[in-house]
Amino acid sequence: MKFTKTKMLKYLLSSVVLNLIFSQPSFAQQSVMYTNFDDVNLSFSTFLCSLDIVENPSKTGINTSEHVGHVVSTADTWEGMVNSVPLSFIDFSDKHIFKLKVFSPRLAKILIKLEYSVNKGTVFTTVYKNTTKVGEWEELSFDFTDAASGVYDNIVLFFDIDATNAGDNWYFDDLQLVSSNPPDNRVSLPNIFRNNMVLQQNMDVTVWGFAPAGEKLVITGSWGKTAEATADQQGKWSAKIITPTAVPGEAPRYTLTVAGTSNTVEFSNVLVGEVWVCSGQSNMDFPLSPIPQWTLGVDNYASEIASANYPEIRLFNVAKRPTSLESTDCEGSWVECNPANIANLSAVAYYFGRELFNDVNINVPVGLIQSAYGGSACQAWTSFEVLGSNTELNAKYLVPFQQNPASFSSEYKPAYLYNGMIAPIIPFAIRGVIWYQGESNNSDGDMYRKLCAEMLKGWRKDWSQGDFPFYYVQVAPYNMTLPEPVYATLREAQMNMLTERNTGMAVTTDIGNATNIHPTNKYDVGKRLALWAKAKTYQEDVVYSGPLYESYSIEGSKIRISFKAETVGAGLTTNNGLPPDNFTIAGTDNVFHTATTEIVGNEILVSSAVVTNPIAARYAFSNAPSPNLINKEFLPASPFRTDGPLVLKVENANEFNNIEVFPNPFDRQINFRNGIEVESLELISVSGKSVLKNSQPEKEGNVIDTSDVQAGLYFLRIQEKNGEIRSLKMVKY
């Protein structure tokens, strides 16, 4: 089709939400959702002709003398239609207004159109606005208060003009999305605060919400503590109130009251105890009761559900809501644990909570916040801020989404589940998190460790509760169609996550189902997670894990495998009375052969008649192993390999304010930000022997490569140019 220059031209501007730097939305969703374009990389395309993006280098502010912002230049030649990239989900169940600053060379008509797909059709709403100024900035408002409610998956910005000149420039800046619904003229709180809730015991817990601007509020706990707050100009308020220490065997009912001049909100049947977030994908979402075409239910589900009468265990199920913007609230309610309520809630969460509640040393109310989404990938639970600030994670997860967001389902979209299902419950006070996820990242290998570790750091930063416990499940054996050893490397990445502070891993190699990715034995999963909590969080003297690999040594034609002493328990054994199986051994040809094994004390000797000079051994290192090694507490050993990536851990980096290990001290090297001028770097063994030295650290990037260093304890000697010497204590596993 031919067009003439007198035809109305339609230019399309579209942007990917990933590229936008968000400000933190207020609870009432009044604040700006998109900040100015200066820090944003936008993707522009057109319906009928090409557009060139010109970045103005002087980003010092908007004024009429400098056309600061993003420039759209018309081209003199026609091009074919270029497909736009959708902005992704924008929730319009609450109405909104878009605001946009425009610098026009002449009068034009600006349009914003919102679209979403439903039943293979498209619903859209368009708002027009005419520019009234030429050669200067003006702000246009696009009111979508009459837009149909729904979740829009595309936003497009048009500008229509009656004629065009080659080289015409339009400048755009400060795209904003604000709520057109002011907060209710009353005191209210997000849904995580409701009747029947459990508040974390013995803690300054944050209570927050909104109220008319300037209104003073008094927060009162019936246990005898009060706090005060004042709503700011946006209606936001928050306060901290101290909760009592829960007494084992007792569960007094409390009220929490928030009183303002406009109204009073009171929550009843409130308990104080231990609160845990239970997150992940379908195996965490897996309910006790069967669901047709999905789950078979847990083992003995009928009797398990019938006996689930624990009114002091409370559950909150965060509604599934992936979204591109950080939500300030979620749907859900607190319910007591009984047969009617528990059937369709997380089995792992329930068994974990039941183990804590029934423990005579704990035996206080337990609150379980279920925030799980079947099929979800770890990057979906990780914030944009975290993903975007890490070069590797950005390249692997954000960039592909940016390039083709329409090809991603909701559970794979980076940050979408964090935005819709984690952000709304922050900063509700918790004791810790249990996590069952990984199947949807099965091909990520060691990258999964980096991703999950960064996700955890982001959650801990956002919650501002320090390094709270994070106990997770190592994925169970599953005979999938992926090549070997994809699942094994995922389990290895999960085991290496144990180098993160205050983490623990429940091994499931003995309770999986090679033909079903959703094993029905969820009791042992919850119990094993609870063992970590009992030992590490509640300081009980219990064996909390099966044997975890620590080191190896080569002794002639055999390899000796050692395990972390505290995981051996009363000793090594097998679950069938036979020698340990699923071990393989390789020589210099790197061909692995089935091994003969012998338990010698708390170690295992591995050998093979066909391998005379061994260099490496592996245990259960396949997608769907069925191994037999356990400790005498009947907890299974984690799969491992001695030839895997050695993990480096810096023990005392926090002692040095101006040294930051970067980005993560795992990848066989150490580097750190240039807070100091370094003369040399030297790796020294505990015996004082120099192992590695870098005499030109600045030239070589302040890196010291530990690829060929054996496992053990070391010190990194940092010689500064001013003569000062510092030392980092390191452990290489």
Positive or negative: CA dihedral 267, 268, 272, 276: negative
The DSSP H or E segment spanning 572 is strand 572-574
State the Cα–Cα distance between residues 577 and 61, nearest whole angstrom.
75
Same domain for 618 and 667, yes or no, is no
Q: What is the mean pLDDT of each run of 10 residues along the chain (733 residues)?
A: 25 25 24 28 24 30 31 29 30 55 70 58 68 78 64 52 50 55 75 97 96 95 98 92 97 97 95 98 96 86 97 97 86 95 96 98 98 96 93 91 85 94 97 97 92 96 97 92 86 93 97 92 98 98 96 93 96 97 94 97 97 95 96 97 67 49 42 61 76 65 60 73 74 57
Same domain for 139 and 21, yes or no, is yes
Query: Residue 641 corresponds to which tokens in the numbers above?
Result: 């390999």
Q: Which domain holds residue 613?
A: 549-641
CA dist 94 → 28, 119, 144 (Å) = 10, 22, 10
Residue 464 located in a structural domain: no
- Are the C-beta atoms of 33 and 325 separated by less than 8 Å? yes
Residue 13 located in a structural domain: yes
Q: What is the pLDDT of residue 393?
A: 93
* Contacts made by residues 221-226, CB under 8 angstroms, sequence distance 24+: 221/254, 221/255, 221/256, 221/257, 222/254, 222/255, 222/256, 222/257, 223/252, 223/254, 223/272
- Are the C-beta atoms of 198 and 192 separated by less than 8 Å? no
Residue 129 located in a structural domain: yes
State the Cα–Cα distance between residues 261 and 271, nearest whole angstrom.
27
* DSSP string computed for 680-714: EEEEEETTS-EEEEES-TTTTTSEEE-TTPPSEEE
Which amino acid would we find at residue 145?
A: T
- Are the C-beta atoms of 44 and 32 separated by less than 8 Å? no
Same domain for 175 and 45, yes or no, is yes
Q: What is the pLDDT of residue 652?
A: 54
End-to-end CA distance of the chain: 66
Same domain for 637 and 652, yes or no, is no
Q: Is 488 helix (H, G, I), strand (E, B) or coil?
A: helix
* DSSP string computed for 440-482: GGTT-THHHHHHHHHHHHHHHHHHTS-S--EEEEPPPP---SS
Same domain for 14 and 144, yes or no, is yes
- Residues with Cβ within 8 Å of 347's Cβ and at least 6 positions away in sequence, in order, are 286, 287, 288, 298, 522, 523, 526
- Are the C-beta atoms of 494 and 472 separated by less than 8 Å? yes
Q: Is 159 helix (H, G, I), strand (E, B) or coil?
A: strand
State the Cα–Cα distance between residues 185 and 212, nearest whole angstrom.
5
Q: Is 440 helix (H, G, I), strand (E, B) or coil?
A: helix
CB atoms within 10 A of CB 555: 11
**Residue from 670, 674, 689, 604 nearest 642 by CA:** 604
Strand partners, 221: 225, 256
Torsion of CA 544, 546, 550, 551, to 10 degrees: 160
Same domain for 129 and 65, yes or no, is yes
- Are the C-beta atoms of 68 and 183 separated by less than 8 Å? no
Q: At which of 116, 144, 179 does a domain end?
A: 179
Same domain for 143 and 54, yes or no, is yes
Angle, helix 347-358 to helix 523-532, in steps of 10 degrees: 50
- In the chain, count H helices and then E strands: 12, 42
Residue 579 located in a structural domain: yes
Instruction: For residue 719, give the CATH number of its domain.
Output: 2.60.40
Same domain for 57 and 143, yes or no, is yes
Strand partners, 716: 683, 728
Which amino acid would we find at residue 350?
A: Y
Residue 425 φ then ψ, to 5° = -100, 0
- Are the C-beta atoms of 640 and 619 separated by less than 8 Å? yes
Instruction: For residue 26, give the CATH number of its domain.
Output: 2.60.120
Q: How many domains does the chain have?
A: 3
- Residues with Cβ within 8 Å of 21's Cβ and at least 6 positions away in sequence, in order, are 35, 39, 40
- Residues with Cβ within 8 Å of 382's Cβ and at least 6 positions away in sequence, in order, are 393, 397, 414, 415, 418, 451, 454, 455, 458
State the Cα–Cα distance between residues 278 and 275, nearest whole angstrom.
10
The label of the residue with tokens 């944003």 reads 40
Residue 337 located in a structural domain: no
CB atoms within 10 A of CB 661: 20
Residue 259 located in a structural domain: no
Q: At which of 641, 663, 683 does a domain end?
A: 641
Residue 362 located in a structural domain: no
Query: Residue 161 corresponds to which tokens in the numbers above?
Result: 């003009």
What share of residues in the chain are helix, strand, coil (percent, to 5)? 15, 35, 50
Same domain for 158 and 54, yes or no, is yes
Residue 343 φ then ψ, to 5° = -55, -40
Phi-psi region of 701 (alpha: psi -120 to 50; beta: other; left: phi over 0): left
* DSSP string computed for 275-338: EEEEEESHHHH-BSS-BTTTB--STTHHHHHHT--EEEEEEEEPPP---SS--S-----EEEES
Q: At which of 124, 148, 179 does a domain end?
A: 179
**Residue from 502, 550, 510, 501 nearest 528 by CA:** 510
State the Cα–Cα distance between residues 172 and 216, nearest whole angstrom.
40
Same domain for 672 and 635, yes or no, is no
State the Cα–Cα distance between residues 215 and 226, nearest whole angstrom.
17
Same domain for 577 and 697, yes or no, is no
Residue 187 located in a structural domain: no
The DSSP H or E segment spanning 630 is strand 629-631
Burial class (CB in 10 A: 0-12, 13-18, 19+), 351: buried
Same domain for 25 and 157, yes or no, is yes
Angle, helix 446-463 to helix 486-496, in steps of 10 degrees: 40
CB atoms within 10 A of CB 501: 14
State the Cα–Cα distance between residues 603 and 637, nearest whole angstrom.
12
Query: Residue 596 corresponds to which tokens in the numbers above?
Result: 């003969």
**Residue from 650, 676, 652, 644 nearest 662 by CA:** 650
Query: Residue 619 corresponds to which tokens in the numbers above?
Result: 């245990």
